Amino acid sequence: MKEQKIGKEEFFLLVGPAQFAVTSGAVEVIAARIGKGEKLNVPLGKRVPIRALEDTVLQVECEPDKLTKMEGSSIPAEWDALAKRVVGERRDGRLYSIVVLGEVDTGKTFFSTYIANRLLHHLKRTAILDCDTGQSDIGPPGTFGMLVMKKPVVFLTEEPATYLYMLGAHSPGLHFLPALTGLAAMLEKARADADALIIDTTGWVQGDGGRAIKKSKLDIVNPDMVVLMQRGTELEHLVKHLPKERVVRLPVSKKASSTSQMERKSLRELVSVRYFKGAQKMEIPFSRVFTDRCYFLTGTPLTLDGALHAERLSAWEGSLAVTAKPLTPDVSKGWPKEIGRVTNFVAGDEKGLMVGLLDDKQNCLAIARLDEIDFAKKCFRLRTPFSGSPEQVRGIQFGSLKLAEDGREAGFIEPGSI
C-alpha cells in the first residue's frame, strides 16, 4: 500500500489487479465519483483512468508500475458533449434509447458505462442493456442482462442484473428469434423503469447474419441515437437508412486492447463461475412447470417398450423417445407406425445444459445448470444461485450451452435435439 497524491485535474491510469482508497479529496473513474473513505477494486484484466476532481490523496495497492500518470484525460471531450445532448433531447415520460455498435474490442462497454454514469448526474433512472452474450458484463454469459442503475458503477460485472433474459448461446447466430424477442422484452421493461437506455451490442456487424440481426435490432428499438465505434467505415452499412442527426461516429480509442479467443473464454468463465458460486441444488417435478424452447413435455405421453420417456408430438413432428442408449432397430421394431418419425434423445446428454428458470409471466428468475432429468421420478434436478422458492419457478427454458458444475464451459447441445 502506497500513498499517492494527485492534484486537481490530474489523470492517472491504474491497471488491475489493484485497489485504492480515498484518504482525502475525490476522484472520478469512468464518470463515477469516488470520495473520501470510499474504495475501488480493479480486477485482473481491467484498467481504469483516474481523474482527480480536487487535490486528492489515495492509498493504492498495485503491482509495480501499474499506476502511471497520464498527460491528460483519456476520455474524449465529445463523450461528455454527447451526454449533454442526450439530456437536452430527452423528453419526460419517454425512454431515450441509444444503441452502441462496434466490432469486438472497440470499447463499447467502457463507453456505455461512462455515458450511463454521466447521464445519472442529470437523470434519475438510467439503464444499460448488455446484449453481448459472448462477453457478458451484466448477468452470466449466454444472457441479456439489464442493469437499472441507482448510482454510478465502475465495473458492470460487479453488479447483479436487474433483469435477465436467457438467450442460451454465446452468439445469436442460431438464435435470431429469441435474440430479437429478448430485445423487445427488455425494451418493454426499460420503458417502465428508465429514462434513458444504453444498449451495448455484440461485435457481429458483418456478413449475412451480422447485417440481418443488427438491422432488425435497430428496427425494433428505433433508437434516438446510434453510436458507431469504428476504426474506419466498417459500420456505415448498418445506418444507411437512418437520419444523419441520429448517427454519432466515434473513433476507437488506441487504448482499446484486443483479446484473444482464449482470453475471451477465460473472461466468460470468470463471470460464469462467479455467478454459480454458492449455487444450490433444486428439484422441480415435471408436473409443476411448462417447458420452453424444446419438444420435451410438449406432447402427449406415450408408452414405448425400451424407452425411458416417450411422447407424441404435433402432427408431422412424430414422436420423441428418450432411451438409455442410442436407439437401434431392435428396440424400435415393435413400436406402432402411428407414432411417426422418431426423434431419439439419449438420457444423460442433457447433463450440464444451461436453462432459464421462468416465473408465471415468463420473466427469467435466474439461470440454472441442469444436472439431470430424472425420467423415472419425473423431475428436473438443477443447480442454481436462485435464492427464491422452487414454487416460484413455473417454466424451464432450455438453452444450448453446457456448463460444468462450477460454471465453466462444457460444450453444446444441438438445437432441436430434445
Binding site for another protein (CB under 8 A): 169-171, 173-174, 176, 208-209, 211-212, 261-262, 264-265, 351-352, 400-402, 404, 409-415
C-alpha cell at 300: 402427449
CB 218 within 8 A of CB 243: no
Give whichever of 118 and 369 is closer to another protein, judged by the CB atom.
369
Cβ at position 213, least distance to another protein in Å: 9
Q: Where are the beta strands (DSSP E) in 274-363?
A: 280-285, 290-292, 300-301, 309-312, 319-323, 342-346, 353-358
Rounded to whole angstroms, how far apart are CA atoms 303 and 248? 61
Give whichever of 253 and 266 is closer to another protein, judged by the CB atom.
266
Q: Among candidates 413, 407, 410, 411, which has minimal Cα distance to 140?
A: 407
Q: For the chain, how long is the longest CA-to-CA vector?
A: 84
Cβ at position 400, least distance to another protein in Å: 5
User: Which amino acid would we find at residue 244?
Assistant: K
Give whichever of 209 and 340 is closer to another protein, judged by the CB atom.
209
Give whichever of 81 and 212 is closer to another protein, judged by the CB atom.
212
Give whichever of 111 and 345 is closer to another protein, judged by the CB atom.
345
Rounded to whole angstroms, how far apart are CA atoms 46 and 18? 9
Residue 128 bridge partners (DSSP): 147, 198
Cβ at position 283, least distance to another protein in Å: 19
Cβ at position 123, least distance to another protein in Å: 37
Cβ at position 382, least distance to another protein in Å: 15
Cβ at position 188, least distance to another protein in Å: 25
Residue 372 bridge partners (DSSP): 381
Cβ at position 141, least distance to another protein in Å: 12
CA dihedral of 335, 339, 340, 342, whole degrees rounded to 10? -70
Give whichever of 3 and 208 is closer to another protein, judged by the CB atom.
208
End-to-end CA distance of the chain: 55
Rounded to whole angstroms, how far apart are CA atoms 347 and 326? 9
Give whichever of 11 and 275 is closer to another protein, judged by the CB atom.
275
Cβ at position 217, least distance to another protein in Å: 14
According to DSSP, the β-strands at 290-292 and 395-403 are parallel
Cβ at position 133, least distance to another protein in Å: 11
Cβ at position 176, least distance to another protein in Å: 6
Give whichever of 265 and 288 is closer to another protein, judged by the CB atom.
265
Give whichever of 187 and 401 is closer to another protein, judged by the CB atom.
401
Give whichever of 229 and 413 is closer to another protein, judged by the CB atom.
413
Concatenate the DSSP letters of all residues of 165-206 into one string: EE--SSSSTT-HHHHHHHHHHHHHHHHHH-SEEEEE--S--S
- Owner of C-alpha cell 481491467: 46
Give whichever of 121 and 281 is closer to another protein, judged by the CB atom.
281
CB 368 within 8 A of CB 341: no
Residue 374 bridge partners (DSSP): 379
Rounded to whole angstroms, how far apart are CA atoms 413 and 249? 39
Phi, psi torsion values for 178, nearest 5 degrees: -60, -35
Cβ at position 230, least distance to another protein in Å: 21
C-alpha cell at 177: 428469434
Q: Among candidates 362, 352, 347, 349, which has minimal Cα distance to 396?
A: 362
